[in-house]
Amino acid sequence: MVHPSVTPVPLSFGACLLDAATADDVDAVADAFADPDIALWNPGARRPGATALERAELWVLDRSGWAPDHCSWVVRDVDRRLVGQVSIHSLDEEIDTGEIGYWLTRAGRGRGIGAAAVDTATRWAFDVIGLARIELFHAVENEASCRLAARCGYLLEGTARQSFVYGDGLRHDEHLHARLASDDVAALAPPL
């Protein structure tokens, strides 16, 4: 694995963009965190004791520069509205692996943007930084995420029992999906 730059690399897919998060995104990120599905399935966005705006500010600060262990983007649609995020994190330079995470705002969902964004980030991580394997975890109950994973060629490898505490404070079983650089996955049609 080649370590990625600390400056985020923007990637376009169709008319959409995987872009660096900036301070101008804080309000949109705060709105996204207020979404019940994101609060439930992406609880890493929580910061105990912080206000909603402070949480969003901290998140943008964390994601706007790439650290040794993650590459993160916000997703912008054709109008350059923030409609989601994708992060390849937990990068392990010893064994060329990482883990992918994502959410889409309510306005961004159901348009193929999530799948295309995840596929675009995945291909970049294989081709440019040289990852060999990327893992993807979601709660077993999260059917939308399971479908997105399958759509992007992340094969279901098994169920991790009671492996993560989600936003409801409960432990959930999770599906482990993974995609290998050597997997032959057909390119997804980019969203409009």
Ligand X SMILES: CC(C)(COP(=O)(O)OP(=O)(O)OC[C@H]1O[C@@H](n2cnc3c(N)ncnc32)[C@H](O)[C@@H]1OP(=O)(O)O)[C@@H](O)C(=O)NCCC(=O)NCCS
Please give the residue ranges that form the binding site for ligand X (CB under 6 A): 37-38, 41-42, 102-104, 108-115, 138, 142-145, 147-148, 151
Please name the residue that has the structure tokens 């990625």: 4
The Cα–Cα gap between 70 and 87 comes to 7
Minimum distance from residue 146 beta carbon to ligand X (Å):
8
Determine the longest span between alpha carbons in the chain, in angstroms.
45
Cβ proximity to ligand X, 75 vs 125, nearer residue = 75
Cβ proximity to ligand X, 5 vs 159, nearer residue = 159
The Cα–Cα gap between 86 and 103 comes to 7
The Cα–Cα gap between 1 and 94 comes to 8
Cβ proximity to ligand X, 6 vs 164, nearer residue = 164
Cβ proximity to ligand X, 66 vs 102, nearer residue = 102
The Cα–Cα gap between 30 and 92 comes to 30
Minimum distance from residue 145 beta carbon to ligand X (Å):
4
Q: Tell me the torsion sign for CA atoms 82, 86, 124, 14.
A: negative
Minimum distance from residue 31 beta carbon to ligand X (Å):
13
DSSP string, 25-75: GHHHHHHHHTSHHHHHH-GGG--TT--HHHHHHHHHHHHHS--TT-EEEEE
Cβ proximity to ligand X, 2 vs 156, nearer residue = 156
Cβ proximity to ligand X, 1 vs 133, nearer residue = 133
Using CB atoms within 10 Å of the CB of residue 98, give its burial: 0 to 12 exposed, 13 to 18 middle, 19+ buried.
buried
Minimum distance from residue 130 beta carbon to ligand X (Å):
25
Task: Name the residue whose CB lies closest to ligand X.
Answer: 114
Minimum distance from residue 3 beta carbon to ligand X (Å):
26
Minimum distance from residue 52 beta carbon to ligand X (Å):
17
